[in-house]
Structure 1
Amino acid sequence: MSNDKKPDFSDVQSGVQSTEQIKPDFSDVQSKVTSTEAIAESDGGEQTYTVAKGDNLSKIAKHFYGKQDWKRIFDANRDQLSDPDRIQPGQVLKIPAPEGEA
């Protein structure tokens, strides 16, 4: 028994739609770039420094004073530091003016 009747697809409809959404408009976006090593002058000649990974107080003092006078930075930041060996990346430390410049 053979069925010679072919399927009828005359009422089948098709369509295509994109999954891509309308592209957003970024024409009014503003940007700002700040350094992770922020050095800012404040009143009295005091600066700030944002601690980076791998920093220690001696290294920071050498950068600002030319010598490893870390105790000066530690004393200025006693409000947030209890141990000079436990500074964390992202902390913003006050850097007092070098001796004789205050």
Structure 2
Amino acid sequence: MTTPDKKADFSGVTSKVDTTAEKVEKADFSGVTASVDTTAEKVAPAEQTYTVEKGDTLSHIAKQFYGKASQWNAIFEANRDQLDDPDKIKPGQVLKIPNIQS
């Protein structure tokens, strides 16, 4: 013969919270300061590449990537390993497009 499980009787339990702390309306963080120190190096975004198409010029490519045709020299200098003359780029060449500071 099994007896039914008795449930705990909490009917006589009471609780009370008493505190001497004053009621705070809003936390005051006005004196808090923070700083972050790091030894990590600043990493530049990855260099892009561009495949030259028929009719392209370094000025045209610079305008596309930098918004200024006058930045063509940055592309030329980044690709000196394959370019001897800025006016002689060929379709199919893959040029490095360096990240430059505006």
SS of alignment partner, residue 45 of structure 1: coil
Deviations 1:14-59 (A, max 9, x none): xxxxxxxxxxxxxxxxxxxxxxxxxxxxx84210000000000000
1:16-31 equivalences under 5 Å are none
| CA distance in structure 2 between the aligned counterparts of 1:83 and 1:44, rounded to whole angstroms | 27
Counterpart of 2:78, as a letter, is A
Runs of 4 or more above 4 Å deviation: none
Count, aligned residues = 58
User: Partner of 1:52 in structure 2?
Assistant: 53
Counterpart of 1:52, as a letter, is E
The Cα shift of 1:99 comes to 1.3
SS of alignment partner, residue 49 of structure 2: strand
Percent identity reads 67
Counterpart of 1:75, as a letter, is E
| CA distance in structure 2 between the aligned counterparts of 1:98 and 1:76, rounded to whole angstroms | 11
User: Partner of 1:3 in structure 2?
Assistant: none
Is structure 2 residue 86 aligned with structure 1 residue 97?
A: no
User: 5+ unaligned residues in a row in structure 2: which ranges?
Assistant: 1-43
Instruction: Give 1 or 2 for the bigger CA radius of gyration.
Output: 2
Is structure 2 residue 63 aligned with structure 1 residue 62?
A: yes
User: 5+ unaligned residues in a row in structure 1: which ranges?
Assistant: 1-42
Compute the TM-score of the two structures, normalised by the length of structure 2: 0.54
| CA distance in structure 1 between the aligned counterparts of 2:46 and 2:59, rounded to whole angstroms | 20
Deviations 1:51-84 (A, max 9, x none): 0000000000000000011000000000000000
| CA distance in structure 1 between the aligned counterparts of 2:68 and 2:81, rounded to whole angstroms | 24
